[in-house]
Amino acid sequence: MTLAPSPDRATEARAASAEEPAGRPWWRSRPHWLRVGASLAGGVATAVAFPPFDAGPLVLVALVPLLWAWRDARPRHAALYGFVWGLGCYGLVLEWLRYFGTVATVALVLPMAGTVGLVGVVVTLLARRGVRSPLLTAAVWVVMEAIRGRMPLGGFPWADVGVALHGVGPARALASLGGVALISLVVVTTNGFVYDGLARWRAANRRGLVLATGGIAIVVAFGAVADVARFEPTPTGHLRFALLQGDDRLLPLRAQQNQLLTAAHLALAAQLRGHYDLIVFPESSLDTDPQQDPALRSELTAVGAAHDASVLVNARTPGTNGELRNSNLLYEPDGRLQAVYSKQHLVPFGEYVPWRDELGFIGDLRQIPYDFQAGHRRVSFEVSGHRVASVICFESAFSPLVRDFVRDGAEAIVVSTNNRSYRRSGNSEQHIALGQLRAAETARPVLQASVSGISGVIDADGNVHDTTKLFHRAIVTGSITTMTGQTPYVRLGDWVPLVAALALAGASGSVAWRRRRRPASAPVD
């Protein structure tokens, strides 16, 4: 971090004139349109680093145009550049929101883009007071992602920049240390050093170029050491599994509400041969609640008995006050219901509509006819002597939830999901990427069972195996190694955003202290 002396009047004037002519009132100032274009291009380049394009390493330089746009920018212009970057990035990464209508796209993409604008405001305010560093920019970014992942309405961490490196082994090693937040910190820091290096090279500033190059070298070395010294979990046994994927029809959202899938999944189960420890019917694969449908429960019991297997199913189960819950139920080989886990982290405007009465005039929201009720506790299952946790669809995006299951003793994770509403978009590939990071963070294997794809197996290092195609009936079978032991991330939790917030507070406090100590005759902003 560079804590430069307080800028004098000449320095402030140069910064003020970097984007607008001298003497022009602030309300008539104009942004630099080249910087706007560069920010948009950087946002699109960052989106290309995510699935389905999946050019992951591109994210290590894709933020450079935005950092250039922020250099010496006025805070209000920095907010615009960050917002435009967010439109380019999140608008492309989350293009599958279009299946839920314009309202969903606007309601999610615009606030997410706005958070990047806020990062620009904070970064430029500090820079104009002599506090500038790639690490500080990264700290502000990580704090923003941490807040956005928790609020409003439970947050949305789907497109954190660290996720783009889901396919890179050293990045997943960083996740085992500090979660996706640590990867994001490294990504933004690397972009900062790359930009500084280019700026110093252009200015023939040899000392600055050496410092920037040294910064990049330290980041690379940190990733390499994290990969070599990666936490090794302890194997506890094996589970033989079968994942059933029975939806092969590409239907719009309204038609899916009347689609019957039980028969298709039971037909797949009838093809199984031999012994399994766990058979998974994924989210939305059953038409009724087996606890309320004796005939269906009898068929599921027969499946378990035929293979001496526990059967994990998903169903709409009764909540309180007549509401429904999205639940996973585990039936033991003898047909006994062992336990029920109800989804805790529901999808706003997908599984429930906040302020439904006030927003009733929006036609797109009629696609969601009723609100689910959230579960209120974590429930793990015992399968052949091993603890197995299940999370339902959207929940796998949330590191703290999966981490807590592992702290409770889970040796493997099942993600039961229904991605069919997003059709052939990049959503399913992005969902698998999130599963890779949950596996890496916790050192636990992940079984991703999707009603329409992509289903697959993710080992405890985050490597993906045996994936299915979208909208193909398929069975994924195999064996996973269950694990125990706690990674640093599982033990310590989200320490990276906390440290980043402390660093930001320290930088802000330094600025405030210097301003208070400034002589009375000194210029004031």
Quickly state the pLDDT bin for 203 (edges 50, 70, 90). Answer: confident
Task: State mean pLDDT over 56-61.
Answer: 97
Q: Given the structure tokens 């820079």, which residue do they identify?
A: 127
SS3 412: strand
What is the per-residue pLDDT for 123?
96
- Maximum Cα interatomic distance, the chain, rounded to a whole number of Å: 87
Q: In terms of domains, do 318 and 445 share one? A: yes
Cα separation of 123 and 106, whole Å? 26
**Bond before 21 cis per omega within 30 degrees:** no
Q: In terms of domains, do 421 and 316 share one? A: yes
Q: In terms of domains, do 133 and 204 share one? A: yes
What is the per-residue pLDDT for 525?
37
Domain-embedded: residue 10: no
Domain-embedded: residue 15: no
Closest listed residue to residue 405, CA positions, set 348, 460, 329, 486: 486
What is the per-residue pLDDT for 358?
64
Cα separation of 370 and 354, whole Å? 11
Quickly state the pLDDT bin for 9 (edges 50, 70, 90). Answer: very low
* pLDDT at position 19 over 60: no
Cα separation of 304 and 291, whole Å? 16
Cα separation of 286 and 339, whole Å? 18
Tens of pLDDT, residue by residue over 31-55, are 799 999 999 999 999 999 999 999 9
Domain-embedded: residue 359: no
Cα separation of 241 and 272, whole Å? 11
Domain-embedded: residue 122: yes
Task: State mean pLDDT over 394-421.
Answer: 96
Q: What is the CATH number of the domain that holds 326?
A: 3.60.110.10
Domain-embedded: residue 52: yes
Say if CB 55 and CB 167 are below 8 A apart: no
Domain-embedded: residue 11: no
Q: In terms of domains, do 287 and 418 share one? A: yes
- CA-CA distances (angstroms) from residue 211 to 9, 31, 115, 134, 217? 28, 31, 30, 12, 10
DSSP one-letter code for 451: S
Q: In terms of domains, do 331 and 437 share one? A: yes
CA 393 centroid distance within chain: 12
Quickly state the pLDDT bin for 184 (edges 50, 70, 90). Answer: very high
* pLDDT at position 519 over 80: no
SS3 288: coil
446-450 and 2-3 beta bridge pairing:
unpaired
Task: State mean pLDDT over 487-507.
Answer: 96
Task: State mean pLDDT over 3-8.
Answer: 39
Mean predicted lDDT score pLDDT of the chain: 90
* pLDDT at position 269 over 60: yes
Cα separation of 372 and 67, whole Å? 42
Q: In terms of domains, do 176 and 272 share one? A: no
Quickly state the pLDDT bin for 7 (edges 50, 70, 90). Answer: very low
Tens of pLDDT, residue by residue over 384-397, are 999 999 999 999 99
Alpha helices, H only, 244-382: 253-256, 262-269, 294-307
Read off the amino acid at residue 64: V
Tens of pLDDT, residue by residue over 104-124, are 788 899 999 999 999 999 999
Q: In terms of domains, do 450 and 500 share one? A: no
More confident residue, 283 or 18: 283
Partner residues linked to 243 by β-bridges: 280, 476
Tens of pLDDT, residue by residue over 133-168, are 999 999 999 999 999 999 888 889 999 999 999 999
Token pair belonging to 423: 């059709």
Tens of pLDDT, residue by residue over 415-470, are 999 999 899 999 999 999 999 999 999 999 999 999 999 999 999 999 999 999 99
User: Which residues span the domain enclosing 123?
Assistant: 30-231+493-517
Q: In terms of domains, do 244 and 130 share one? A: no
Q: In terms of domains, do 452 and 506 share one? A: no
pLDDT over 90 for what percent of the chain? Answer: 76
Query: What is the number of structural domains in the chain?
Result: 2
What is the per-residue pLDDT for 105?
86
What is the per-residue pLDDT for 278?
98
464-465 and 337-342 beta bridge pairing:
unpaired
User: Phi, psi at residue 291, to the nearest 5°?
Assistant: -70, -20
Quickly state the pLDDT bin for 478 (edges 50, 70, 90). Answer: very high
Q: In terms of domains, do 279 and 163 share one? A: no
Token pair belonging to 347: 């999808």
Q: In terms of domains, do 207 and 189 share one? A: yes
Tens of pLDDT, residue by residue over 74-92, are 999 999 999 999 999 999 9
Domain-embedded: residue 361: no
Closest listed residue to residue 406, CA positions, set 238, 236, 212, 199: 236
Tens of pLDDT, residue by residue over 331-389, are 999 999 999 999 999 988 777 677 666 666 666 666 666 688 999 999 999 999 999 99
Q: In terms of domains, do 504 and 422 share one? A: no
Q: Given the structure tokens 């079968």, which residue do they identify?
A: 242
Cα separation of 221 and 243, whole Å? 40
What is the per-residue pLDDT for 363?
63
Say if CB 251 and CB 259 are below 8 A apart: yes
Angle between helices 134-148 and 495-517 (to 10 degrees): 120
Domain-embedded: residue 17: no
More confident residue, 244 or 258: 244
Say if CB 290 and CB 317 are below 8 A apart: no
More confident residue, 390 or 514: 390
The residue ranges of DSSP E strands in 83-163, in sequence order, are 131-132
Confidence (pTM)? 0.91
Closest listed residue to residue 415, CA positions, set 474, 328, 475: 328
510 contact partners, CB below 8 Å, separation of at least 6 = 3, 131
